[in-house]
Copies of this chain bind each other. A is one copy, B any other.
């Protein structure tokens, strides 16, 4: 990654034909939603969905800015937390939208982390068979991952993201300043997805991250903007090549995720944050790759050191390993009975490999001495 400063704001154009959109990344943007996303919002009825954590801090700035552009602004504030991503809440929101005279020209503005983005996006995808939405992600995880690529959805009891759509936003606005009010644990968890992009597809970016740990941990806004922009560009490149997960290219984003999803499910959602679970998951996957001779132990050492440097966990709990492997076998990426894993061959490259036998996977769960 080139070390020379780049102009702010960073602009990423996601090219998906008639579903193309721009991601704008910088500092202080919450006050400029109305102007930055003017094309999407002008003279429209904007329906802001936020949550009980983010709303009290940032909602006023967003609605004030929208007020100068949209013809009407309504707000719905949901309880913060994963359980908000339910069908019952979709119905509540849709009925409120109807009550407030929303129609097919209205636009949803999702202001919050991944939960609000996923929920608000699905609300938009299905209301009147699909209306526009703008995404303002406020967690690092949402900024670098769920705000790019159009995956929206809700949970069924016992099945995360089981109902949803591929529905691209009209515009994404990322304000790095909001990360200052994100709690440390959630911020660090988001760094797991950041580091993932380096590992799966971008060696220079990985090296830049190795050198930028202190800037990352002190929330240096220029570093943050550059890092988030690079992540969004990486994900954009993948999504442009495989919007609907059909060619297999998009699967590289799942590095560490089959392990990670199993860890989240077996130890209970919330025990580990998603980013923590995939940090452990990538560590296990890296270890498996060493076992299989796909990479040398130096790979695993560098990967582990960077996770540790930013404060991410890397060790899988020493219990429930059989349950973990069973959960991995049920992963929704299982295709025709064959579980494939995304495994590294070097820093900056991963491949989809048929999972080896149970004993190999069991070994990969255990910390290397």
Contact with B along A155-190 (1 / 0, CB 8 A): 011110111111000000000000000000000000
State the CA gap A340–B153 with chains docked (Å).
34
Are B163 and A165 in touch, CB under 8 angstroms?
no
Given A129-B164, A162-B128, A163-B126, decide whether A332 and B104 contact each other with a Cβ distance below 8 A: yes
Given contacts A87-B90, A105-B335, A332-B103, contact A129 B165 (CB under 8 A): yes
Q: Least Cβ distance of A248 to chain B in Å? A: 14
> What 1/0 mask marks residues of chain A from 76 to 95 whose CB sits below 8 Å from any chain B CB?
00000000000100110011
**In the assembled complex, which residues on chain B have CB atoms less than 8 Å from the CB atom of A153?**
126, 129
Residue A130 at the B interface, CB < 8 A? yes
With a cutoff of 8 Å between Cβ atoms, the chain B residues found around residue A91 in the complex are: 87, 156
Number of copies: 2
Contact with B along A349-360 (1 / 0, CB 8 A): 000000000000
Q: Is A309 an interface residue (CB 8 A)?
A: no
Q: How long is the Cα–Cα vector from A91 to B154 in the complex, in angstroms? A: 11
Report B-chain residues with C-beta under 8 Å of the C-beta of A103.
Answer: 332, 334
Verify A332–B94 contact, CB threshold 8 A. no
What is the bound-complex CA distance between A204 and B332, given in angstroms?
52
Taking CB atoms, residues of chain B closer than 8 Å to A156 are 91, 94-95, 98
From B105, B127, B130, B151, contact of A129 by CB (8 A): B151
Check A165–B332 contact: CB distance below 8 A.
no
Chain B hits for A334, CB < 8 A: 103
**Residues from chain B with Cβ under 8 Å of A87 in the complex:** 87, 90-91
Interface residues of A in 301-350 (CB under 8 A from B): 332, 334-336
Please name the residue on chain B nearest to A153 by beta carbon: B129
Bound state CA distance, A94 and B153, in angstroms? 13
Contact A164 B126 (CB under 8 A): yes
| Proximity bits, A40-57, B CB within 8 Å = 1, else 0 | 000000000000000000
User: Nearest residue in B to A101 (C-beta to C-beta)?
Assistant: B330
Known pairs A95-B156, A126-B126; list 8 more (Cβ under 8 Å).
A94-B156, A98-B158, A103-B334, A128-B332, A129-B151, A129-B164, A129-B165, A130-B244
26 cross-chain CB contacts under 8 A: A87-B87, A87-B90, A90-B163, A94-B156, A94-B162, A94-B163, A95-B157, A98-B156, A103-B332, A103-B334, A105-B335, A105-B336, A122-B126, A126-B153, A126-B163, A126-B165, A127-B163, A128-B162, A128-B164, A128-B332, A129-B153, A129-B161, A129-B164, A129-B165, A130-B166, A130-B244
